[in-house]
A = this chain, B = another copy of it.
Amino acid sequence: MNKTAIGIDFGGTTVKSGVVREGKLLARLPPLRTHDFAGHDSLLAAIRAAIEELRQQHPEVVAVGAGLPGLVDSINGRVWQLSNVPGWEDVALTALLEEWTGLPAAIDNDANAMAYAEWLFGAGREGVNVVCVTLGTGVGGGLILDRKLYRGSRLGAGEIGQMTIDPKGAPGQYGNYGALEKYVGNAQIAERAQTLYREAGLTKTPEECSPLALEKSARAGDPVAAKVWEEIGFHIGITLCDIVWLLNPDRIVIGGGVGRAGEYVFGPIRRVIKERTMKIFHEGLTIVPAALGNDAGLIGSAALALAKATMPNDP
C-alpha cells in the first residue's frame, strides 16, 4: 500500500511542511514565518499553496496531517486555540485540509505528533509504554500506552510541563503552581543560569545562557554550566519519577534543546530515577534522547494522518 503523506508542523514562529514516507522526508519546503502573514486567512492561503506545491512534486500523496501547539480536538478536527498564534480560535482545520485536497486529513497536538513519530520511527521504536518529553520554550509531552497514542478523556493528556515540582512554588500560566515548566523552560533556565553566574561574579546575557550555549560551556569545563544542568536534570528527574511510579513505562524519550545536552542532563535524570524508584520500575526502563530532531513533528503528523485514514479507530 502507498504510504506517502504530507506533514505540516506548526511551530511557535514557523510552519514547516514536507512529504513523508515510512518515517523519511522525501521533500520539504522552506518554512513559512507566521509573522510574515497579516492574519489567519493569509497564513492559511500560504499553507494551501504549500500543500499544492508538494502534491505536484509527489502526486502519490494519500493523506495530509498537521501538528499544532495548543488545544487541538483531534477527533472533531478543530483547533481551539494556538499557543503563540493569535486569531486562531475554533478553526475547523481538518475539514479545510480535506476540502482543499480531496484527501483524508488529521490534526493533532504537536507533542502527540512528536511522540507518535519517535515511537514509530525514532528513539521510542519497539517500546510498549513510551513517555515523550519535549523541552523548549515550554515543556510538552506525549504518551504511547500499550502501543497506542493515549490522548485522555478531553484529548488533553501528556501535559508533563504542568506537573508539580513544588506545590508552594510560583504560579504558571495554566493554573498550576511550581510546575516543571517553571524550572526547565528555556527562559527559566536562562534566568537561573544568569543568577548562578552572577553569584560566581560573572555577567552573562540570556543568549549566553541558552541550552545550546550552556551545553558548550559545560563541555568546556565551566562549573556553573555543569551545575545548571545538574539542577535541570534533577527537576526533570523528579517529574519523571512520578510518571514512572504511575505508568511504569519501558522507554522515556527526551527531545528539544535540553534533550540535546547529552550526559550533562541525562546523567542526573537517570541517577534521580534510579535512586527514587524501585528496581522493577527502573531496571527495564531506558531513557534516551529523541532521534528525529526537528523533523519529528512533520513525520508524526504525516504518520497520524495515514493511521487515521487506514484505521480510523486507531491510534
> Residues of A with Cβ closer than 8 Å to B?
71, 128-129, 141, 143, 145-146, 148, 150-160, 162-167, 174-177, 234, 238, 241-243, 245-250, 275-278, 280-281, 284-285
Taken together as a complex, chains A and B put the C-alpha atoms of A250 and B157 apart, in Å, by 11
Known: A152-B249, A163-B246. 7 other contacts (CB 8 A): A71-B280, A154-B284, A156-B248, A156-B281, A158-B246, A166-B166, A167-B234
Kindly identify which residue among B158, B164, B243 contacts A241, using a CB–CB cutoff of 8 Å. Answer: B164
- Which chain B residues lie closer than 8 Å to A248 at the CB level? 151-157, 159
Taken together as a complex, chains A and B put the C-alpha atoms of A128 and B175 apart, in Å, by 25
Looking at the assembled complex, report how far the CB atom of A188 sits from the nearest CB atom of chain B, in whole angstroms.
16
| Closest chain B residue to A235, Cβ basis | B167
* Chief secondary structure at chain A's binding surface: loop
Oligomeric state, in number of copies? 2
List the 7 closest A-B pairs by CB distance, nearest first.
Answer: A152-B248, A153-B250, A156-B248, A157-B248, A159-B245, A162-B245, A163-B242
Taken together as a complex, chains A and B put the C-alpha atoms of A156 and B275 apart, in Å, by 17
Which of A128, A243, A276 has its CB near the most chain B CB atoms (within 10 A)?
Answer: A276
Kindly identify which residue among B152, B156, B164, B241 contacts A238, using a CB–CB cutoff of 8 Å. Answer: B164
Q: Are A165 and B167 in contact (CB under 8 A)?
A: yes
- Which chain B residues lie closer than 8 Å to A143 at the CB level? 246-247
- Which chain B residues lie closer than 8 Å to A243 at the CB level? 246
Taken together as a complex, chains A and B put the C-alpha atoms of A167 and B276 apart, in Å, by 10
| A-B residue pairs in contact (CB < 8 Å), sample of 23 | A71-B280, A129-B153, A143-B246, A146-B148, A150-B247, A151-B248, A153-B249, A153-B284, A154-B284, A156-B280, A156-B281, A157-B246, A159-B245, A160-B246, A162-B245, A163-B242, A164-B241, A166-B167, A167-B238, A175-B277, A176-B245, A243-B246, A246-B247
- Which chain B residues lie closer than 8 Å to A285 at the CB level? 153
- Which chain B residues lie closer than 8 Å to A163 at the CB level? 241-242, 245-246
Q: Are B249 and A246 in contact (CB under 8 A)?
A: no
Taken together as a complex, chains A and B put the C-alpha atoms of A242 and B160 apart, in Å, by 8
| Closest chain B residue to A177, Cβ basis | B276
Taken together as a complex, chains A and B put the C-alpha atoms of A160 and B248 apart, in Å, by 11
Kindly identify which residue among B146, B234, B281, B284 contacts A150, using a CB–CB cutoff of 8 Å. Answer: B146
Taken together as a complex, chains A and B put the C-alpha atoms of A158 and B249 apart, in Å, by 11
- Which chain B residues lie closer than 8 Å to A250 at the CB level? 153-154
- Which chain B residues lie closer than 8 Å to A153 at the CB level? 128-129, 248-250, 284-285
Known contacts A167-B165, A248-B157; decide if A276 and B176 are in contact (CB<8 Å): yes
Taken together as a complex, chains A and B put the C-alpha atoms of A175 and B275 apart, in Å, by 7
| Closest chain B residue to A277, Cβ basis | B175
